[in-house]
Amino acid sequence: MTDHRTGGRDGFRRLVRAEWTKFRTVRGWVAGMAVAVTLVVALGLLSASGSHASCGMNGVETACTLTAGPGGEAVSDRFFFVHRRLDGDGSLTVRVNSMTGQIRLPDAVPGTRRVVAGVVPWAKAGIMVKDGVRQGASYAAVMVTARHGVRMQHDFTGDVAGTPGGVSPGSPRWLRLTRSGGTLTGYESVDGRRWTVVGTARPAALPATVEAGMFVASPGDLTVSRGDLGGASVQVRFTEATAVFDQVRVEGRAGGTWSHDDVGVAYEADGRTPHHPGRFAEAGGTFTITGVGDIAPSAEGTRIESTLTGLVAGLIAVIVVAVSFVTAEQRRGLIRTTFLAAPRRGRVVAAKALVVGAVAFAAGLAAAGVTVPVGAGILRANGNAVLPVSTLTELRVVAGAAMLTAAVAVLALACGVLLRRGAAAVTAVVGLVVVPHILATASVLPLGVAQWLLRLTPAAGFAAQQSVPEYAQVLGYYSPQGGYYPLPPLAGLAVLCGYAALAAVLAVVRTSRRDA
């Protein structure tokens, strides 16, 4: 028996070393962690292998590829563009007189199309400078929207709000976009004389010569149908918007005449017929432009965290190991020997927590470090469009899975100390961590309830997996089932770590106050 009565750091180091020796010499605990890693990797890669993309639907030619923006992120870039060349510095000024449109609603009578007049909240009409007409090219734009007022946006993710309100024939809105070097400034006005700055932008990859002009886009109408048990069915239906522009003025070295492009238009299966094309007409300096689609970040694709389907199963194995790391000694009475060698019992709990947390972190890091990149590669090989993320984001997802695993292990060990019964402790931790996550992501609860579960319970830590953020300027059904958590990744981990820390403190206090 090793005596750890010596105080200070040296005594605690020896205590940690002794607990690590216990862990690595018990085959069941080592095997349990190996099982956890195997479950995460095997289930994740099996799921990726079984996922195959089917491109093209409803007779429309589509591709299993994603459009990448200037920052490498997936983007939606479809709109109707009336434009001309602009060399160097200059400005474009227009007056937007109206915005109308149509929306296809769910059919009231099966087989009978139901189309109504109206525009969706994020329908956009405005002016833009863009690096040509290539999808995903760098740009800056100032626009009016149907329900979100004037905005200045650039390179898909940048968004600044201007004055609220829409536009109508009785209340037009003037817009101006000025370029000076690499800086673009957006302005708005109600009368064309008094101007207010909406925002400024410095697009990442805008060349000296750009295309400048008017555009219209209209994203799909989102319909969420809720089931009796709280689940939801999401559909996105066709919309289009039409805007009228006049008082068009270009200043600077503008070349050529006005031309037009239906940027990003899809084609029917024959490859020649446009599917829901945009259009425009010009008469006496007044432009009437109709467009569909959106200019925004996109989440239409497979996420890298979808490869971590085995993480829940792996966590259950980690919970069992962490609980037994303390309850096995309690059940056999060996904990008394440990306390004789280290009378400061709180340090024993701390040492066990440090060892099991470190081992769990290493296991989670190894499992996620293999599963995420390899699984994403398999998904791509099977034709799936995997949403691109930066290397830093991918590392954050892998490290987040490891931190989640470590925090759950510490929580499980602390519950084992508090409850002193292995089955009870395992059941408690599974009920606190795994069950809320399953209920929230299985679409069996109302969205609000699911989101509160993932804010208030230790299951909040699963937010560490989320690789694609929510964007305020993109209408979407941001639900846990779709991979969106109500808390940011670090905040979700903080909630879980808070539970683990509280449980560990209670375990230390209880151990210090009672006999083994």
**Same domain, residue pair 204 and 219:** yes
How many other C-beta atoms lie within 10 A of the C-beta of residue 481?
17
In this structure, the answer to whether residues 269 and 397 fall within a common structural domain is: no
2 occurs within a structural domain: no
Copy the structure tokens of residue 371. Answer: 């599963």
Lookup: tokens for 166:
């829409």
- For residue 248, the domain's CATH number is 2.60.120
Residue at 128 is within a domain: yes
216 and 280 part of one domain: yes
Whether 351 and 272 share a structural domain: no
Alpha-carbon gap, residue 419 to 446, rounded angstroms: 33
pTM score: 0.86
CA atoms within 13 A on the CB side of 351: 24
Residue type, 334: L
Would residue 1 count as lying in a domain?
no
Q: Judge if 65 and 33 occupy the same domain.
A: no
Q: Are 107 and 249 in a shared domain?
A: yes
CA–CA dist 436, 228 (Å, integer): 20
Assess if residue 345 is contained within a domain.
yes
Residue ranges making up the domain that contains 283: 60-297
367 burial class (0-12, 13-18, 19+ CB within 10 angstroms)?
buried
Tokens 């602390």 sit at which residue? 414
How many H helices and E strands in the chain? 10, 21
CA–CA gap between residue 298 and residue 468 (Å, rounded): 9
Q: Are residues 126 and 187 in the same domain?
A: yes
Q: Which of 280, 297, 314 is the last residue of a domain?
A: 297
Within a domain: 3: no
Is the pLDDT at 372 greater than 80? The verdict is yes
10-33 residue pLDDT tens: 677 888 888 899 899 989 999 999
Residue 112 is encoded by which pair of tokens? 């009978």
401 domain residue, yes or no: yes
Three-class SS of residue 297? strand
Strand-by-strand arrangement of the 67-68 sheet: 67-68, 74-77, 295-297
286 and 361 belong to one structural domain = no
Residue 291 lies in a domain: yes
User: Which of these three, 257, 277, 297, is where a domain ends?
Assistant: 297
| Nearest CA-CA partner of 236 in 249, 259, 219 | 219
Residues 21-73 pLDDT 10s:
989 998 999 999 999 999 999 999 999 999 887 555 444 444 467 899 998 89
Task: Answer whether residue 377 is part of any domain.
Answer: yes
Residue 489, CB-side half-sphere exposure with 13 Å CA sphere: 21
Do 311 and 209 share a structural domain? no
**Tally of structural domains, the chain:** 2
- For the segment 413-439, what is each residue's pLDDT rounded down to a tens digit? 999 999 988 899 999 999 999 999 999
In which region does residue 70 sit, left (phi positive, over 0), alpha (psi from -120 to 50) or beta (all else)? alpha
Say yes or no: 13 and 96 in one domain.
no
Length of the chain: 516
Question: Residues 442-491: pLDDT tens digits?
Answer: 878 888 899 999 999 999 999 999 999 999 898 888 889 889 999 999 99
287 lies in the same domain as 367: no
Give yes or no: residues 281 and 329 share one domain.
no
The last residue of a domain, from among 297, 313, 336: 297
